[in-house]
Structure 1
Amino acid sequence: MSPFASMSHATIYIVLTVALFAIIGTRKNPLSIAGSFVQEIFTSRKYLFHFVALLTILFFNKLEMTFEKKMHYRADFTKSIYSIEGNFVANIQHFFHNDILTYICSYFYVVVFPAVMIGSIAIYTYKKNYKLFYAVVYALMFNYMIAIPFYLFFPVNEVWSFHPNVKLLILDAFPTFEQDYRPLSGLDNCFPSLHTSISISMAVIAVRSKNTFWKIFVPATAAFIIFTIFYLGIHWLSDMCAGVILGVVASRMGLRLAEGRLILGEKALLKRMNNNEL
């Protein structure tokens, strides 16, 4: 029997995994952690505004695929990527191929990836580390805002759909992946890899936290998720490289904005410009 019989099963695993992360990360009842989130939503306008902004950008990501289908732009850069990279992904998949590893990688790709995002929001909120919560929101927004134009105008198909020697291994663990998960991510929404960029962003921000478990676990998870995108036959090496750059930039921008340094830096620049004019 496959571990993921449907997206409903995957959702249950995500909820359970988030609860586990919350327990380990805070040593508290996950219900109390959820309660702190609800309390912030109803008592803090600033918190609510940021949360709604995050949901909005996620909604626009969903609209991207609808808009893409209506575009007359039909470029495809997959062949160019393949000509540069060759068998890099195929070699990784064939060298490490193992049924148990396939299930583990599928779990990290489908479950742990969103669980880390949700867990970050839950842990930072419960610990009242609002700067890191805002940094997560800003970083996710930057990731999507920068990635979406590439998905529209620089389409690259997933490796398995183009390379003759690469298989979509996630189907062994999640047979309905193409029907259930595909609506969340288009086949040609490959460059840059959001699984890579968001994982890197969460890792960079987690390192800034005082939570010992989280600051070690999240970067380790990011490294393994990068491995899964190759092993499962989904992303190209160039997707990963672009994702790493995007993740670092988005997280740094998110941290600067959350800490007010970006705004203060702009004010300082304007002040210097005014002094030069005088």
Structure 2
Amino acid sequence: MLMFPELSPLIRVVLVLVSVIAAGVVVAGVTIVGPRRLRGLVRTVPGHLREVAPYVGALGVILVISAFGREGLQSVSQLYGLYLTGTIFAIEGEFVAWLQSHATDGATRLLSWTYVYGYAFLLVFPLLAYAALEESTQLKRLLAAYTLNYAIGLVVYTIVFAHGPRNVMPDMVTSLLYTTTPDFQHLTTQINIRSNVFPSLHTSLSVTVAALAYRTRDVYPLWTVLSGILATGVVFSTMYLGIHWALDVVAGIVLALACVWIVCEYVE
């Protein structure tokens, strides 16, 4: 990662991430949303902002709680939570280690980029895509689904104390995310806590975006395909890179589908 060499590693990684996502959103905006809808943002956004303000506020509250309260909640989890690492390992065994035994440098680099850049793009782009629609329903559902994922995830993280496979099998599972792109560690250590693995929020949020994209397939057919591919890549990368167990992924998929059902049922 050679861009911005004079900056601190964390700031450099963040700037590269923002640059990549911004470029991706611009390209996808032109090719998927289309020039006509993009021009219409001037007309649609002001009304949408008023309608989605409560959803933005709720998401903001959850993100603030997550950012500033996660260490305290982790302490609660460590003292009173359910220790499920052994149970998870007993059920699925060395599946992640087996997966990593087939790792290649090319696949590791691709999946590392997918885990970081692809995931961030998945979460950001639909905000633009749905803001360009005449009705605000899809944008409200997206924001509500994000909020539910984070809120439920935070509760489960507090109830369940579980380490990932790289902590349980360090001689068999390595942090492949940092082997080809070591600078990513400066970003992920600011966000992830090693005992917060069940469920996989990378999985739940990615699948949430793909599921909501499927519901707008008539409007954005290309986005339906692209989000499905990216979500699959993100889900697979969480296991391949040694971050999550397969059971974390299954739980993340269940969480995603539940959140999508709730928002589609109750958010209009």
Shorter-normalised TM range: 0.7 to 0.9
How far apart, in 2, do the equivalents of 1:15 and 1:111 lie?
Answer: 11
CA shift, 1:9, in A, is: 1.7
Question: Which residue number in structure 1 is paired with residue 131 of structure 2?
Answer: 125
How far apart, in 1, do the equivalents of 2:13 and 2:93 lie?
Answer: 33
How far apart, in 2, do the equivalents of 1:130 and 1:241 lie?
Answer: 31
Distance 1:30 1:63, change over 3 A: farther
- Equivalent residue pairs, number: 256
Question: Which residue number in structure 1 is paired with residue 6 of structure 2?
Answer: none
Paired residue type of 2:165: V
Question: Which residue number in structure 1 is paired with residue 247 of structure 2?
Answer: 238
Identity %: 23
- 1:73 and 2:79 are equivalent in the alignment: yes
Selected match of 1:212 from 208, 217, 221: 221
How far apart, in 1, do the equivalents of 2:108 and 2:154 lie?
Answer: 29
- 1:229 and 2:229 are equivalent in the alignment: no
Aligned partners of 2:45 and 2:132 also within 8 Å: no
Larger mean CA deviation between 134-143 and 241-250 belongs to: 134-143
Aligned partners of 2:208 and 2:260 also within 8 Å: yes
How far apart, in 2, do the equivalents of 1:40 and 1:194 lie?
Answer: 31
Question: Which residue number in structure 1 is paired with residue 262 of structure 2?
Answer: 253
How far apart, in 1, do the equivalents of 2:44 and 2:139 lie?
Answer: 11
Aligned partners of 1:17 and 1:112 also within 8 Å: no
Query: What are structure 2's unaligned runs of at least 5 residues?
Result: 4-8
CA shift, 1:216, in A, is: 1.7
CA shift, 1:33, in A, is: 7.7
Higher Rg of the two aligned structures: 1
Pairing of 1:12-91 with structure 2 (within 5 A)? 12-28=19-35, 39-40=46-47, 44-71=49-76, 73=79, 76-91=83-98
Query: What are structure 1's unaligned runs of at least 5 residues?
Result: 260-278
1:194-235 Cα shifts (integer Å, max 9, x gaps): 111111111111111121111221122211211111111110
Paired residue type of 2:115: Y
How far apart, in 2, do the equivalents of 1:39 and 1:12 lie?
Answer: 26
Paired residue type of 2:91: I
Secondary structure at the aligned position of 1:166 is classed as coil
Distance 1:132 1:87, change over 3 A: same
CA shift, 1:12, in A, is: 1.9
Question: Which residue number in structure 2 is paired with residue 272 of structure 1?
Answer: none
| TM-score, length basis structure 2 | 0.86
How far apart, in 2, do the equivalents of 1:142 and 1:126 lie?
Answer: 23
